[in-house]
A and B are shown apart, each in its own frame.
Chain A
Amino acid sequence: VKTQIKFFAYWSAFSAVVAGVYWFLSYEAAGTLFLTFMFLAPLMIGAYLALHGSTRPPPADDPGADHSRVAGSLVGRFSKRSVWPLVMAIGLAVGVEGFVYGVWLLVVGLVVFALASIGLMAESRG
């Protein structure tokens, strides 16, 4: 978490300096307000991490952490060869044509697209 806190702290400090310089050189309210938010937003995230980051420390903070702790959860498999992306593209192309030739074509395209999505999902689960 330390690196993240440092990153947001530097970002916030830089924005504070820019906001101050901008205000005293221009006395212009709108830009200064934007820059103030540019200072407050990273400050908010940095402060949250500084206060609560230690309750759920990421594996990067733990020198004894295992690789499996950093690895994400399984999102599924992608098959080596699949016809569904092609069907999906055809459905999309037909659907977009619907904006030119009539809404009925859009419905046909969407149905083909939906079937291809279901096919792709079923394949990635198998």
Chain B
Amino acid sequence: MTGFRLHESIGKLIAAIEFVGFNLTFFPQHLVGLKGMQRRIADYAPNLGWTHLNELSTLGAYVMAVGVLLFLWSVFQSFRRREPSGDDPWGAYTLEWLTSSPPPEHNFTWLPPIRSERPAFDWRHREKVP
């Protein structure tokens, strides 16, 4: 989209943080639901036994927020480093990776040939693929 490459290790770290944060946020919600808490209520009496599980969910939401902040920082860093990503940094197979990065207006200025379910792969290795 921007044409700048994001840091790969930070990306993996963000994925791990989001994975932990997501499960920490939503897993306790199953349990409070079983304890009788309805969806979309603003507050509840303190003696219902829902507090600690909801606190865990809040903690999970903060963990996810850390992941999002890290992502924004990573995007900011990519603008500072200005390392060009190239058109297809991950060696992907599908059509959207056949255009340039950043893409031109209307995405394609030429019609990409499609000969299989992996058009980008075929085009990249067109000399070797019969």
Which size bracket describes the interface of B in this complex?
10 to 19
Contact residues of B: prevailing secondary structure: loop
- The CA of A70 and the CA of B27, in the complex, are separated in Å by 40
- Cβ of A26 under 8 Å from chain B: yes
| CB of B3, distance to nearest CB on chain A (Å) | 27
B115, A75: Cβ atoms under 8 Å?
yes
Which interface class (under 10, 10 to 19, 20 to 34, 35 or more) fits A?
A: 10 to 19
Q: A72-B116, A73-B116, A74-B115 are in contact. Are A28 and B34 (CB under 8 A)?
A: yes
**Sampled A-B contacts (7; CB under 8 Å):** A18-B23, A26-B30, A66-B128, A67-B129, A72-B115, A77-B114, A80-B111
Interface residues of B (CB under 8 A from A): 23, 27, 30-31, 34, 111, 113-118, 121-122, 125, 128-130
Interface residues of A (CB under 8 A from B): 18, 21-22, 25-26, 28, 31, 66-68, 70-75, 77-78, 80
